[in-house]
Amino acid sequence: MTVIRRPALSRRTVLRGLGTAMALPFLEAMAPSARAMDVTARPKRLQVFYSPNGMTMPEFMPKGMGTDFTLSPTLSPLAPHRDSVAIVTGLGHPQAAAMGDASAGHGRSCPAFLTGTHVKQTEGPDIRAGVSMDQVYAAHLGDATALSSLELGIDQASLLGSCDINYSCAYTNGISWLTPSVPLPVTANPRDVFERLFGDGDAVDAAARAAQARRQRSILDFVMEDTARLSGQLGMADRRKLDEYLDATRAIEKRIQRSAASPAAQATMAQPAGIPADFAEHVKLMIDLQVLAMQADITRVGSFMIGRELSNRTYPEIGVPDSHHMLSHHGHNPDKMAQLAKINRYHMEFFAYLLQRLKDTKDGEGSLHDRTLVIRGSAFGDSNDHDYMDLPVVVAGGLIQGGRHVAVEKGTTMSNLLLAGLHLLDVPAKSFGDSTRPLPELLHA
């Protein structure tokens, strides 16, 4: 019997069309051997999910310790993922302390969240923080992917003036820092993200010409010929995976097109085309874009801000008509605390959605969840007191042992967890931020 052997498909193979370059998910044809399909051979990924304005801590704290714990009301959306999440309490950021600076909290705590550094108090261009943990991992990966990282959010950035007392808006617009003086802005328009993921960087003029055409036509129309050619080289299982990936891409594209065509988007001149009027749809669309970028290995590092720090968004859809930031300074008023807890739980529902999407998305013979470290947190615990020394942190994904409530000594620096996370991602860092050691509770069961 004659065995026909196909040459291994390059991991960097793309589907090309006018101004378009679609990366591919991991296919069996890309594996030089059966062992390459093993879970340990797949790339590791990092996702950070950030929620602003702190937490109603009594509603967040789980009951019990270790594996014998009960999810709290705020954490209840994580019930389907209980076995794959670790609730870590007691962590703080000592570098968010004033240390002689102005009494503002958000302007120091938000940038400290992923950098573990004390930022420079300034409203001018001379901002200074530190390299964030996600960017340390991105630098470690080098040019392994088309995009080193993807920073997404829901709110447009504030660009001018002071967003917190004596602190530049750059400190509260995002959580990722490429260098100590270069913060990475989030992208809030899903159309912009889609164009970034699938525009052909090697054909700038062609990409510009194709961008307008893609508003009326599907991106898949541009790569149809290349898709047909590639399908002929694939086995049945790979063709099925490719079809699933293309279906997911098209579904997201349709949602973006519907958003751009909605009456609400057309009536609001300040709202960029492509941003859904509905908050929940916007959040899910951005999460889906992050997952799609991971599935296609366009990037392995992502961060998502469900709200900019100091966000004044209201949530009438869940019965909260008052400003988020105003409610975070509740003065221990039970009614305001109850409303803030509703927002906290609502945000946790979207974190659960991210985890489910990672579990549902194939990666080799497993899922994206298997090899992804997911960190969810806020810059404050008790928002009324700007308490940066008792943070609400959840760690998830297949790289950790879940199903635990890990209570560390209160005041332990969050940098210890970030350093341990880097070690789980195979980054041989000796220290990070103000770390004292890798958090042993994260590294070992």
- The confidence score (pLDDT) of residue 35 equals 44
Write out the H or E segment, with its range, that includes residue 14: strand 14-17
Q: How many CA atoms lie within 13 A of 385 on its CB side?
A: 10
Size (the chain), residues: 445
Side-chain half-sphere CA neighbours of 100 within 13 A: 1
Which domains does the chain show, CATH number per domain? Answer: 45-188+278-443 (3.40.720.10)
pLDDT at residue number 2: 41
Outline where DSSP puts E strands in 26-102. 45-50, 63-65, 68-70, 85-92
State how far the Cα of 249 lies from the Cα of 15, in Å rounded to an integer: 13
pLDDT reported for residue 18: 61
- The tens digit of pLDDT for each residue in 131-176 reads 999 999 999 999 888 889 999 999 987 755 558 888 999 999 999 9
Q: Are 13 and 24 in contact (CB under 8 A)?
A: yes
The Cα angle at residue 271 between residues 270 and 276, in degrees rounded to 5: 165
Sign of CA dihedral 183, 189, 193, 196: negative
Helix axes 279-295, 236-261, angle to 10 degrees: 150
**Residue 135 confidence (pLDDT):** 97
- Are 36 and 45 in contact, with CB atoms under 8 Å apart? no
Residues in contact with 322: Cβ distance below 8 Å, sequence separation at least 6, in sequence order = 314, 336, 339
Dist. CA 108–CA 404, nearest whole Å: 30
- Give burial (CB, 10 Å; 0-12/13-18/19+) of 97: middle
The parts of the chain modelled with pLDDT lower than 70 are 1-9, 11-12, 15, 17-21, 31-41, 159-162, 199-217, 219-220, 222, 232, 258-274, 444-445
pLDDT, tens only, 252-276: 777 777 665 554 444 333 333 568 8
Q: What is the structure's pLDDT at 393?
A: 98
